[in-house]
Amino acid sequence: MDDIIHLLPDSVANQIAAGEVVQRPASIIKELVENSLDAGAQDIQVLVTDGGRTCVQVIDDGKGMSETDARMAFERHATSKILNATDLFALTTMGFRGEALASIAAVAQVELKTRRPGDEIGTHVLISGSKVELQEPVACPVGSNFAVRNLFFNVPARRKFLKSNQTELSNVVADFERIVLTHPDTTFTLYNNGVQIHRLPETSIRQRINDVFGGKVGTGLIHTEVETSLVKISGYVGKPESARKRGLHQFFFVNGRYMRHPYFHSAVMHSYENLIPAGEHVSYFIYFTVDPSAIDVNVHPTKTEIKFDNEQAIWQVLAAAVKEALGKYSGVPSIDFDNQDKPYIPTPLYGEDRRNIPPPPSLTTDYNPFGVQPRPVTSPHVPDDWQSLYVELDTLPETNHQASIWQDEETTDAVDVNVPHFQYKGRFIVFPVTEGIMLVDQRRAHICVLYEQYMDNLFQQQGVSQGLLFPEVVEFTKQESITLEDIMSDLEYIGFELTNLGGGSYSLAGIPSSIEGVNPITLLHDLVYSAAETGSVKNRLHQSIALTMARAVAFVYGQVLSDDEIRILLQQLFSLPAHKYTPDGKLVYTVISHDETENLFK
């Protein structure tokens, strides 16, 4: 029999490697910018077109390459950063595998212009799909200029799976920010379609954080630093009062390299035990400096998962460092009722200067915090004879709506929402049905109703907005701004009126009429965060927006509802085509059958 094992051609091997190294335009920027940093660049410019789908260009003022090196750089495993296997245990550079440029050239059209400081003329190289098409002398400045065009032009299947321009740009910005946070001594610039997104001059780490994410993030941070024989830890952690559930900035860096490390994340959050509410987190920017021989960065293609020799000991050091920083910060944090991350609580002292007015010393003995006036259901009035509106539905063809607990249409009529009902523990609505006793989760029921209303607004492209007497300015990071621009029209359909002021600032002139008691700025940030997690598929994006809005506006547990509110809520719930589960799959109601009730007393 003939031999069946053979070597793959370099062009095929390079494309296989590209699957690990080049996943999207952001991967190219990461690899090229890291090469620029290894080359000693002090000024790095990143230019992307159409979110990087059309072109990614990285220009630096590093040491450049010779004519031979410019050609050799695109060969597999060609690198200047290590010489033998022992060098892998003492890495001081960002790159070391020698696969990045070969992988990029295998799936794109790459143009390189480079010159060393001592050379009078540089080198121009043109490569397309691993094939060298041109190499000639050229006049160019010192450093390197990489232009990567038409990513995946020769791999249509992979190009098809690239996301929208806005989504790809968001990923580019995210990777760019991770790099610039580790090198505050280098100047970085980022452009998209000729528009400047970031201009970051040489500065300190604290100022770099402010430049990237805005001064508001920086003011909520505490400095922490500790040095032991095992590790040096420095950086910033969030103040307890800055804790939030979503949209946080959490970064670990080791020896100038970004990494993900859930184990060390648990050390940080352990330090905040009993200081922040359950389920909330804080931002942090923590830098580790360790002996290169004590870590292994060669365990994952993206080099973001790093193994430490003494993880448990470093965990203890990190937890102690964060606790010490919190102890120094302090005592009792000031109470600020204007904090956007806290729920709005109306008080008699309403106004801009209320925080400066001490509360009156007198007590209101008959005040009941649970006896506030209930918020009306945000929906049109439902007439008492609402059943007649659905008589003609019996003639419609059957649909694939989610089945309810009843077996046929006749038993559905057995649900009479006008029967006596009551609230149990401010959470459940209890009333009798034909099968037994029904328990309805009032918040989840309201989420279902509101979700359908917001989905209708998005589908019909209309919503009711309530103008603000004094517009508020809302700040977003660069990455958040990209997502916000992508969903701006959708936000208008549900009632938000936003105007871009530039620099990540937006003027909020109108809010949805149904969000009484909800902080609109916090809600906007939640909507942007949810949209970023969901992606750019329009239908899924609408579902995410509608669900986020519904969760924010729905009745809270403990809220007392009037009989009319309960009746209207149940009418609206059971008029929905699918009402047994919330959009995210949680049970809305259940029935305790007569048999189950009787068995309890046997």
For tokens 């997502």, what's the residue? 483
What would the DSSP string read from start to end of 279-306? T-B--EEEEEE--GGGEE-TTSTTS-B-
Expressed in percent and rounded to 5, the helix, strand and coil fractions of the chain are 35, 25, 40
Q: Which range in 60-64, 488-492, 558-562 is most confidently predicted, on average pLDDT?
A: 60-64
pLDDT digits (tens, 9 = 90+) for 473-505: 888 888 888 888 888 888 888 889 999 888 788
For tokens 């021989």, what's the residue? 293
pLDDT digits (tens, 9 = 90+) for 200-218: 999 999 999 999 988 778 7
pLDDT digits (tens, 9 = 90+) for 519-529: 888 888 888 88
Q: Which range in 92-96, 286-290, 359-363, 458-462 is most confidently predicted, on average pLDDT?
A: 286-290
pLDDT score at 352 = 41
User: Which strands, in side-by-side order, build the sheet including 250-254?
Assistant: 221-227, 232-238, 284-289, 250-254, 257-259
pLDDT digits (tens, 9 = 90+) for 82-101: 555 555 555 556 555 567 88
| Residue at 592: amino acid letter | I
At residue 264 the predicted structure's pLDDT band, cuts being 50, 70 and 90, is very high
Report the candidate in 220, 255, 225 with the shortest Cα–Cα distance to residue 240.
220
pLDDT digits (tens, 9 = 90+) for 98-149: 678 888 888 899 999 999 998 999 999 999 988 889 999 999 999 999 999 9
Instruction: In whole angstroms, give the CA distance from residue 453 to residue 87.
Output: 61
Instruction: In whole angstroms, give the CA distance from residue 276 to residue 134.
Output: 60
Asked if pLDDT for residue 224 goes beyond 90, the answer is yes
Residue 28, token pair as written in the block: 């190219």
Arithmetic mean of pLDDT over the chain = 80
Contact (Cβ atoms closer than 8 angstroms) between residue 129 and residue 106: yes
User: Helices 478-493 and 520-534: crossing angle, nearest 10°?
Assistant: 100
Report the candidate in 22, 25, 26, 27 with the shortest Cα–Cα distance to residue 106.
22
- In this structure, of 356-370, 371-385, 447-461, the range with the lowest mean pLDDT score is 371-385
pLDDT score at 404 = 37
Question: Which helix (DSSP H) or strand (DSSP E) does residue 226 occupy?
Answer: strand 221-227
Asked if pLDDT for residue 430 goes beyond 80, the answer is yes
Question: Which helix (DSSP H) or strand (DSSP E) does residue 112 occupy?
Answer: strand 109-115
CA distances to 12, 13, 14, 37, 158 from 9, rounded to whole Å, are 5, 6, 9, 32, 20
Asked if pLDDT for residue 376 goes beyond 50, the answer is no
**How many residues make up the chain in this entry?**
602
Contact (Cβ atoms closer than 8 angstroms) between residue 574 and residue 415: yes
